[in-house]
Structure formats: structure tokens, C-alpha cells
Amino acid sequence: MEQLAEQPARTNGELIQALETMGNSLRIHSIVATSEAGSGHPTSCMSAADLTAAVFFHAMRYDVANPKNPVNDRFVLSKGHAAPLLYAAWAEAGAFPVERLKTLREFTSDLEGHPTPRLPWVEVATGSLGQGLSCGVGMALNSKYLDKSGSNVFVLMGDGENAEGAVWEAAEIASYYKLDNLIGIVDVNGLGQSQRTMYGHDTEVYRRRYEAFGWHAVSIDGHNISEIIAALDEAMSVSGKPAVIVAATKKGKGVSFIEDKDGWHGKALKKGEELDRALAELQPKVATPDGLEDGLKMKSPEGRSTNPITIDGGVDKSKASEFKIGDKIATREAYGDALARLGDENPLVVALDGDTKNSTYSEKFLKAHDGRFFELFIAEQNMVGAAVGLGSMGKIPFASTFACFLTRAYDHIRMAAVSQANLKLCGSHAGVSIGEDGPSQMALEDLAMMRAIIGSTVLYPSDAVSAEHAVRLAAEHQGIVYIRTSRPKTPVIYSSDEKFEIGRAKIIRQSGADKVTVVTSGVTLFEALAAYDQLKAEGIAIRVIDLFSVKPIDEATLRASGSETNNLIITVEDHAAWGGIGDAVASAVTAAGIRVHQLAVREVPRSGKPEELLAAYGIDSASIVSKVKSLLS
């Protein structure tokens, strides 16, 4: 597709006329598309139509033919249920034919019910409300501090979603990093899904809140094109802080029988009388004004320059650390070392942390690459959303915190999968082995929740060498990767030249006389090895497997080992008994007639010494020995 020509110079009055016309065209497209689909949110589109028209055809600079152009401005529709409006704007910009809007919500169409990156002009998936601003923060961090492209990021939000805490996590971080290239727009139409919103059309409430968070904030009439243009121009001229435009609008604007009326959320106009009445009110407003027959076009980003970070030849694997067998190193510390070294080799790698960097050891990356490290503080939702935004701009983001705190960000992680995001997460301090800090700090659900994410990869290293490989594998793999690290120091058991792969397990101990296979990872691998030694002294041989790749799982190795050991597998994990290693192994082998017996945490734990807790919850070496003997008796 050829780049659209710069729109012709116009007087301010002509521009206002043209944008008013475009706003009504976007309304018509939105109601026609949703009526054709028989579902959707036309009234939510109609309130934001004038705002969107002005952003697209006055403020944004965008190479429509090249949506990944690094100097493009970016537009995030956080109120994703207004997707038909977004599609209409891109169609009018020339991204695809207007006729395609009638394929809205069809199975074979990229114009889905809420935006996803299946459509090339969409950067991140939205629709779970309150997430768009976080993604915009990540994009703005990239533009301002990494690519230094001068690009702006526009995020259109609904007033209802401003009740979400994630919005304010993003707002405070945007202010902290002085993201003057981030422009928020709040569509205050006063109507939620089931009732009036918290503050109705009181734009001043929202304006004062953003101002209190350190934003440049203005309130306008969101249907007055002159005010919208002036506010956008002002926002783009602000220096040293983000800007937000709080716009009073009306849901269903332009159609008298649905405008500002409750009960129309998520309701398409019926084909026939309803649609015809609406079009009769809107169509007279889209006649081309005199002298404006050329129509509106997006501004080109020509003239902007950037030096986007690139890397040739992939990740250099030659700089792996030299570890000595028997050295005791926590996998969380090895993660930090590996991440810092990876940053030396790959300038696309960036790191984020939730004020735990001295415990996750991501501080090692900060010390080596402070320009590519972003402290996101105790706001895990925004940390993950910002990482998704950075990933959409071509970076390889590693976001780290205690594994238990990632549960707060789970919806953002779920939406990252819909975004087809390139996202790397590291959760440290997993399981009861953290000891005295107690159950509030013990992640016992993280493997289950990350396994459930469609397309995710889950790696659980047991020693420093496998942790190093987990980091490198994560960077090389496109998609969501979760690395689970542990607090206790564990001995190095692998040589530095050991090879690891996603989807492959490691058989650590085996013989032709093995009676049972024990499958585990992390700290409990060393409990399994201790059990192996004790049972061997008693004349009982068992096989020990380090699972390493929890997802995808090494089904072939597990089935082969299980069939060679009396169709018996014992799984041991410092995790809850539901959804973790035990269930992963069972799903891989039970169809082959192999029985799986799970040793896992089955109650809310308490504080104590790590060795006490492993014993108390039945996942230590003594518990493994006891289970093996009971199965063989």
C-alpha cells in the first residue's frame, strides 16, 4: 500500500468542518457494522467519534503502509468495546477498504469484537478495561528513552474504566518518568454498562485526579471540534509531564432516540426501522463541505529520525558462565547474572521490576544497563502492561517480582496472550521453601496459572546452570515465557556445557533396575536426590527426572521412563497440589496407563525454617522415601 499523501493545507474553519464530517462518518460506519454483525457497542463508539477523528486526522503522524515504522505515533483504544470506531478510523485512513467494516465479528475477519494484533494496525489487545494506559506507558518509555524517536502515544479511555486501579498505577508511573510523549484521552460519556458511571459528566473530578498524579490535565466538550483540536495541540506541546484530555461526551451522540439514554450499552441497532431512523439523522451531516473534496488524510511521520536498536545473528551463546559442580547458588541470583550478561550481548533486552530487584537480583541488570532498566515499583499490573507495550515496540522485556505478586497481574498476563506479546516473566521466592516469611509470600499457584495461559512456556530451573539456560531460551523464544526461581541456595549439578531445550526434561539418575520414577524441579529435585541416595543404600533403585520445562512437557521421556518403572511416577513439587507439576505430568502419561502419585502442598502453610516446612507438607526426602516404599510394599 502506498503512503497516503499529506493532507492539503486548510484554514482552521475548513479543518473543523472536515473533522466534524469525519466524526459523523465514523458514527455511521460503527452503527452499520454493528447492525450487520447483530452485536457490538455502537453507542460507545459514537461518544468517542469526534475525539478519534481529531486524533487520527489532526494530531497523529503515521505511515499507514508501514504500521511497524518506529517513528509512527501510536494509538491505543483502551475502551476496546469501541472497536468498530477504531476499525472505521483505520479504514478511512486507507488501511483497508471501508467495505470490509461489514465483516465485523465474523470468524474469518480480523475485525474482532475487541481489538487484537491480528489486525496489523493494532499494537496490543484491549477489552479487559483499565489496561490500555499501562501498555501506552511501555510504548512511551520506548519512544522517549530507548528509540528516542519523538513519537507520541495516544490512549483513549472510557470514564468507567477509570475506576480500575491499574489506570492509576499507570498514571503515577507515567508522571514519575515524565512521559511528555504520552497523551491520555478520557471519554466521559457518563454511562456504564449497567448504570450511570460514578461521577456522570463531572469532568472536573477526573481532571483534578490526573492533575494530582502530576499530569497536565484539561477538560473540554468532547463534541466541540475546535476545543478538541486546541486541547490536542496543547497536550502535544507539554514538556516534562504526561497530558490528559478529559472530554464530556454523550453516548449514542447524533441519534436522538439513543443519545445519552440508559439501556443501550452493547446493543446493536436492529436492521430496518431502527437503523434507518439513525442513518436518517446522521447522513445529512456527512455531506462533503465545499472545497474539501480531497478528504482527510493522516499526517506523515516524515522528518522524524530514530536509530532503532537491532541485533544481528541472534543471541551469542558463547558467554555462558563457568559454574563449578557443587557450588551453592540460588537460581534467583543466577537469573540476575544471566540477565545482565544477556544484556551485554543483546541490546533489545530490557528489564522491569516491582521494587524487589535486590531479591529477584534483576538489580544486576540495572547496574550493567541502567538505561534499559525501568523500576515500576509496587504496581505489578502496570509492570506487566508496560512490559507488553515495550514488547510491541520490538524489545525483549523481562519483568521480575516475587512469584506470588504476579497473581495481581494475572488479567494483564491473560491479555498479553491475546496480544500475542513477547513477554518474559520471572517469579522468585516460590513455594514453602522461602521459610520464615510465611504463606503470604509463598507462591503456590504460579505454575498452575502460567500453564493455563494459551501459548505460554513455563521453565523451572533447579541450579545456576539451568537458570542461565532458562534466561537465554526465554530471550530466543517468541511469546510469553515464565521462569520460576527459588530463594534457597542449591548446589550446581550440571556442567557448564550441558544443553537445555524448551520441551525437554533431564534424567538425572537411572538404571535398568529402577522401580519408580520421581519427577520434580527446583528445590525438591535435591530432596529427590537425597531420597535416591538413601533408597540406593537400602537396595531400592529409583529414577530421578528434572522436569525443567513444565510447559511444554517432555511427554516422550516421561512415558518411556514410566513404562520402564512399573508404570509408576511420583511427582514432587514445592507448589499446591492442583495445576502444577503433578497435573502436568499426569496429563502427559495417564493415557499410557501410567499411575501418577503427587507429593505437593495441600493446605495453607505457616512460617518456619525451610527444612521444617518441606517436611511438614510432605515434599522432603523422607516423604519421598516413604512414598516409594509404600508403593512397592
**Sign of the dihedral through C-alpha 530, 531, 536, 538:** positive
Q: How far is CA 141 from CA 62, 122, 169, 209, 364, in A?
A: 19, 18, 15, 22, 21
Confidence of residue 614 (pLDDT cuts 50, 70, 90): very high
**Sign of the dihedral through C-alpha 137, 190, 60, 239:** negative
Flag whether pLDDT at 228 surpasses 60. yes
Write down the pLDDT at residue 303: 87
Question: Is residue 431 within 8 Å of 484, Cβ to Cβ?
Answer: no
Write down the pLDDT at residue 5: 46
Tell me, yes or no, if 281 is annotated catalytic. Answer: no
Confidence of residue 196 (pLDDT cuts 50, 70, 90): very high
Question: Is residue 32 within 8 Å of 282, Cβ to Cβ?
Answer: no
What CATH class does 12-286 carry? alpha beta
How many of the other CB atoms lie within 10 Å of CB of 32? 24
- Which string of b and e fits 173-206 if b means at least 16 CB within 10 Å? bbbebebbbbbbbbbbbbbbeeeebebebbbebb
Above pLDDT 70, what percent of the chain? Answer: 95
What does the alpha-carbon distance between residue 298 and residue 64 come to, in Å, rounded to a whole number?
8
CA atoms within 13 A on the CB side of 401: 25
Write down the pLDDT at residue 104: 98
Confidence of residue 402 (pLDDT cuts 50, 70, 90): very high
Confidence of residue 2 (pLDDT cuts 50, 70, 90): very low
The CATH superfamily assigned to 320-491 is Thiamin diphosphate (ThDP)-binding fold, Pyr/PP domains (3.40.50.970)
Which residues, other chains included, contact 594 with Cβ-Cβ below 8 Å and sequence gap of 6+?
A: 558, 559, 562, 563, 567, 568, 569
CA 262 to chain centre: 33
539-570: per-residue pLDDT in tens? 999 999 999 999 999 999 999 999 999 999 99
343-399: per-residue pLDDT in tens? 999 999 999 999 999 999 999 999 999 999 999 999 999 999 999 999 999 999 999
What does the alpha-carbon distance between residue 315 and residue 343 come to, in Å, rounded to a whole number?
10
What does the alpha-carbon distance between residue 343 and residue 349 come to, in Å, rounded to a whole number?
6
Query: What average pLDDT score do residues 448-454 get?
Result: 98
Q: How many residues does the chain have?
A: 633
Flag whether pLDDT at 291 surpasses 80. no
403-427: per-residue pLDDT in tens? 999 999 999 999 999 999 999 999 9
Asked if the domains 320-491 and 506-632 are classified in one and the same CATH topology, the answer is: yes
How many of the other CB atoms lie within 10 Å of CB of 441? 17
Which residues, other chains included, contact 580 with Cβ-Cβ below 8 Å and sequence gap of 6+?
A: 447, 448, 451, 550, 573, 600
- Name the DSSP letter for residue 143: I
Confidence of residue 295 (pLDDT cuts 50, 70, 90): confident
65-91: per-residue pLDDT in tens? 999 999 999 999 999 999 999 999 999
CATH number of 506-632: 3.40.50.920
- Name the DSSP letter for residue 542: E
Mean pLDDT of the chain: 95
Flag whether pLDDT at 293 surpasses 60. no
Query: What average pLDDT score do residues 108-117 get?
Result: 98
Write down the pLDDT at residue 3: 40
Confidence of residue 593 (pLDDT cuts 50, 70, 90): very high
Query: What average pLDDT score do residues 307-317 get?
Result: 56
Q: Which three cell numbers stand for residue 356?
A: 524487589
Write down the pLDDT at residue 288: 64
Give the pTM: 0.96
Flag whether pLDDT at 312 surpasses 60. no
Question: Is residue 409 within 8 Å of 417, Cβ to Cβ?
Answer: no
Question: Is residue 386 within 8 Å of 134, Cβ to Cβ?
Answer: yes
Domain definitions of the chain by residue range: 12-286, 320-491, 506-632
Largest Cα–Cα distance of the chain, in whole Å? 96
Q: How far apart are the first and last CA of the chain?
A: 73
Q: Which three cell numbers stand for residue 135?
A: 501498555
87-103: per-residue pLDDT in tens? 999 999 999 999 999 99
Catalytic option among 164, 227, 380, 468: 380
Name the 3-class secondary structure at 491.
Answer: strand
Beta-bridged to residue 427, according to DSSP, are 401, 484
Confidence of residue 10 (pLDDT cuts 50, 70, 90): confident
Flag whether pLDDT at 23 surpasses 60. yes
Write down the pLDDT at residue 290: 55
Nearest alpha-carbon partner for 491 in 503, 508, 515, 475: 508
Can you list the pairs that 304-308 forms with residues at least 24 positions away whose Cβ atoms lie under 8 Å? 304/61, 304/71, 304/149, 304/150, 304/151, 305/71, 305/149, 306/70, 306/71, 306/147, 306/148, 306/149, 306/150, 307/147, 307/148, 308/70, 308/147, 308/149, 308/394
Flag whether pLDDT at 317 surpasses 70. no
Write down the pLDDT at residue 609: 98
